[in-house]
Structure 1
Amino acid sequence: MDIENSITIRRAKLTDREELLALYLTVYGDDYPLELGTNKQLMTRLLEEQEKAFWFVVELADRPGIAASCVVELEPEFRIGKVTGAAVHPQCAGLGLSSKLIGFAVNEVMAKAPSINTLYATTRTVTMASQKMLISNGFKPLGIFPNARKIKTYETLTLMGYFREGVLDKRTPVQRIPPSLVELYLQTNKSIGDEREIELVEDCPAFPKNIAHEESKWEFIQAPEFVEKRFNEVFQGDRESTFYPFHKPNLLISNTVLGVEMFASFNKKDHYCVLISANCPITTINGHFKKLAFAFKEIGIYYLETLVRIDYFEAVCFLGANRFLPSAYYPAMREIDGVAHDYVLMTRTMVPLDFSESQISSEFTPFVREYVRQWIDLNLSTVGVHL
């Protein structure tokens, strides 16, 4: 087959929805963790809101129906997008459709959405194919999400970024950084071809270990509409505190003694929780996080992550003191008044770390090695094990 002449890539239409549902079911079965290929209401919104979602499909001249699909969702306010939902029909495997589709989608979005600075994608680690395919299309490795998704087992994901030309030139210099971020920072800079020196490596301040008293209790409110309404009330006009692309809060974590309200996005199926923001600095819960961690486990949360702007030094240090590890680094993730700011992804897994079934491309080896080194130091140093 002359694949170059037989392939057609076009924008998906609402009339394609049922066929797309069938495609994702055929490709992934019941294991697909995203709503994109299973939730009709969400799919309808993405297919209709063509300025915020570019959904592309592949058709072949000698085969009826949709052969492949992918979506690029956009958050124009934050000038960022994500590539997701890549699927190729099993009968069309081996034709390179996924790579051609992603390459076309990225070029099309960058041409037709000039406000978008960067796109990101995550990949599973059951095979290396998707990692290699994204790298070949200009995506840069930025780190990992360890134990992030519960599919058949707890699976590690990779993070990659694609950057519009000139965006990385707008990065603000990193003025100080804790020792725990040095290797991740340097490796990310090497990955994106923007190597620069660190102005200052500074040790973190000490934080109290555990000062929580009996009256200090954590309550969890899982009511998506109420939580989103409360979130909008608390952060009205405050876009800095609400920066967490493609995540909406559905969980409110409250401590009335401390006056703390934390807003999170919780996926019960994966036991995965993203801490989006809080009504006060994260350091307000100094000495109370150990009790909160036990409360997370009790409601079935086994993985935590949060994004922190790299110049929020004390917040990064506080999370590190409470068993979060830096696992990915996103340069120039958000532009404000012409200046692009870096963010670090801090993660905490509460289940045993296991890479035994992971297939990870060599480009990610330095990220995995550094994460494992820090995990060993955090969890095994007291028994004399170091890496």
Structure 2
Amino acid sequence: MTVVLAPAAIQDIAELRQLYFDVYGHGYPVPLGSDPAVMRRMITDGSAHWLTARTPRGDLVGSAVVQTDAGSRVGKLLGLAVHPGHRGGGLASRLTGAVCETALATGVLDSLYATVRVVTEGPQHVVVRNGFRPLGLLPNAVEVDGCESLALFARYADGVLERRAPVDRVPERLTGLLAAASAGIGIDCAGTARAVALESAPRRAFGAEPIELISAPAFVRRRFLERFPRAADRFFPLHTPNALLVAADGGFEAYADLDPVAGSCALVAVHPRPAALTGALEALMTTVTRAGADYAETLLPLADTEALEIFLAS
């Protein structure tokens, strides 16, 4: 059946919510398919490219979104959904290709990434057919229909990898990952050396005093911008912290995007620097687990050897 692709509009929100319910039921952990306020903002504020698919009769049968972070030049493909009655005709691939081409054509993005459920092969084939390359697995990363693992894929704008700045050295435990990235993506890491392991810093003692959790999103955002005024220091694209984890002695402030619905936590930044978490990550994980997250992730620059060593040691 012929379908027409068009940008999402505010008047589509009710039908989009119904589509995501038809596809995922009550278990869809992403607010773009369930929260009207979030959906309205994404449609109107220019932060996303959102395409819908309609039949000649006007039925909304498909949706796909690329959420963008222009400051980091990164976008994320998410919210791909095709009504169960319209699968098997290539609509998912067509939507994916169209929304990705639209996003990359703006020239403000260097790369797109997607995290894909691995319980079925179909979504993985869809992204691979549209130029995404497999980068790895995120084990037990999300609560959808139980605890599920996700596969990580990325697609790059033309010429981006050729402009990549080389990294001189990485911790030895990352050399296997680097070799896999070289083979899978084609980047040349032959000149990257193994870093000499840093001497272990004295471990902080965390006993009776727990790490304090501040769940006040507006305050946390203001504090985050005060602590990290330069955009270059806010390294985690597409994540805005909504929670603050603070050592009882004030030794560090860890900014997190905590999502109890998805059972996940993204550790966005640490003040004054990641090394301040030395010896504290287990206590931090205990705190976020009590707040409803079973899984935590962070994103670190490959060139930040000190931060990588701290997290690998934990």
Looking at structure 1, the residues matched to 301 and 81 of structure 2 have their Cα atoms a distance apart, in angstroms, of 33
Looking at structure 2, the residues matched to 251 and 213 of structure 1 have their Cα atoms a distance apart, in angstroms, of 20
Q: Is the 8 A contact 1:207 1:286 kept in 2?
A: no
Q: 1:282: which partner in 2?
A: 274
Q: Is the 8 A contact 2:172 2:195 kept in 1?
A: yes
Q: 2:11: which partner in 1?
A: 15
Question: Is 1:268–2:264 an aligned residue pair?
Answer: no
Q: 1:382: which partner in 2?
A: none
Identity score, percent: 32
Question: Is 1:75–2:80 an aligned residue pair?
Answer: no
Q: 1:180: which partner in 2?
A: 173
Looking at structure 2, the residues matched to 76 and 9 of structure 1 have their Cα atoms a distance apart, in angstroms, of 24
Q: Which residue, 137, 144, 147 being the options, matches 2:140?
A: 147
Question: 1:225 Cα shift?
Answer: 1.5
Question: Is 1:310–2:302 an aligned residue pair?
Answer: yes
Partner of 2:300: helix, strand, or coil?
A: strand
Q: Is the 8 A contact 1:148 1:303 kept in 2?
A: yes
Partner of 2:261: helix, strand, or coil?
A: coil
Summarize the alignment of residues 32-51 of structure 1 with structure 2, pairs less than 5 Å apart: 32-49=28-45, 51=46
Q: Is the 8 A contact 1:177 1:198 kept in 2?
A: no
Q: Is the 8 A contact 1:222 1:250 kept in 2?
A: yes
Q: Is the 8 A contact 1:216 1:258 kept in 2?
A: no
Looking at structure 2, the residues matched to 115 and 128 of structure 1 have their Cα atoms a distance apart, in angstroms, of 31
Q: Is the 8 A contact 1:47 1:53 kept in 2?
A: yes
Taking a change above 3 Å as real, the CA distance of residues 293 and 33 of structure 1, as seen in their structure-2 partners, is closer
Amino acid paired to 2:273: P
Looking at structure 2, the residues matched to 76 and 122 of structure 1 have their Cα atoms a distance apart, in angstroms, of 19
Q: 1:120: which partner in 2?
A: 113
Question: 1:254 Cα shift?
Answer: 0.7
Amino acid paired to 2:310: F
Q: Is the 8 A contact 2:213 2:245 kept in 1?
A: yes
Q: Is the 8 A contact 2:74 2:111 kept in 1?
A: yes
Looking at structure 2, the residues matched to 189 and 245 of structure 1 have their Cα atoms a distance apart, in angstroms, of 23
How big is each residue's C-alpha offset from its partner over 1:237-290, in whole Å with a ceiling of 9 and x where there is no partner?
Answer: x21221211111111011142431111011112321111012211112323333
Looking at structure 2, the residues matched to 59 and 270 of structure 1 have their Cα atoms a distance apart, in angstroms, of 29
Question: Is 1:130–2:126 an aligned residue pair?
Answer: no
Question: 1:216 Cα shift?
Answer: 5.3
Summarize the alignment of residues 1-387 of structure 1 with structure 2, pairs less than 5 Å apart: 3=1, 6-49=2-45, 51-61=46-56, 63-111=57-105, 113-207=106-200, 210-212=203-205, 214=207, 217-236=210-229, 238-322=230-314
More deviation, 199-208/179-188: 199-208
Q: Is the 8 A contact 2:144 2:262 kept in 1?
A: yes
Q: Which runs of 5+ in 1 are unaligned?
A: 323-387
Q: Is the 8 A contact 1:204 1:314 kept in 2?
A: no
How big is each residue's C-alpha offset from its partner over 1:183-204, in whole Å with a ceiling of 9 and x where there is no partner?
Answer: 2111112212234314311242
Q: Which runs of 5+ in 2 are unaligned?
A: none
Taking a change above 3 Å as real, the CA distance of residues 210 and 153 of structure 1, as seen in their structure-2 partners, is farther
TM score, norm. by length of structure 1: 0.77
Question: 1:218 Cα shift?
Answer: 1.2
How big is each residue's C-alpha offset from its partner over 1:30-75, in whole Å with a ceiling of 9 and x where there is no partner?
Answer: 01110001000011111112x32111011223x4311111111111
Looking at structure 2, the residues matched to 67 and 222 of structure 1 have their Cα atoms a distance apart, in angstroms, of 37
Partner of 1:308: helix, strand, or coil?
A: coil
Question: 1:215 Cα shift?
Answer: 6.8
Q: Is the 8 A contact 1:212 1:291 kept in 2?
A: no
TM score, norm. by length of structure 2: 0.94
Q: Is the 8 A contact 2:251 2:276 kept in 1?
A: no
Taking a change above 3 Å as real, the CA distance of residues 57 and 178 of structure 1, as seen in their structure-2 partners, is same
Partner of 1:78: helix, strand, or coil?
A: coil
Partner of 1:278: helix, strand, or coil?
A: strand
Question: 1:234 Cα shift?
Answer: 1.8
How big is each residue's C-alpha offset from its partner over 1:134-173, in whole Å with a ceiling of 9 and x where there is no partner?
Answer: 0011001112211110223211111111111101011111
Taking a change above 3 Å as real, the CA distance of residues 34 and 177 of structure 1, as seen in their structure-2 partners, is same
Looking at structure 2, the residues matched to 308 and 172 of structure 1 have their Cα atoms a distance apart, in angstroms, of 15
CA-atom RMSD, angstroms? 1.8
Looking at structure 1, the residues matched to 77 and 286 of structure 2 have their Cα atoms a distance apart, in angstroms, of 34
How big is each residue's C-alpha offset from its partner over 1:316-357, in whole Å with a ceiling of 9 and x where there is no partner?
Answer: 0110000xxxxxxxxxxxxxxxxxxxxxxxxxxxxxxxxxxx
Aligned pair count? 314
Q: Is the 8 A contact 2:71 2:231 kept in 1?
A: no
Looking at structure 2, the residues matched to 39 and 159 of structure 1 have their Cα atoms a distance apart, in angstroms, of 25
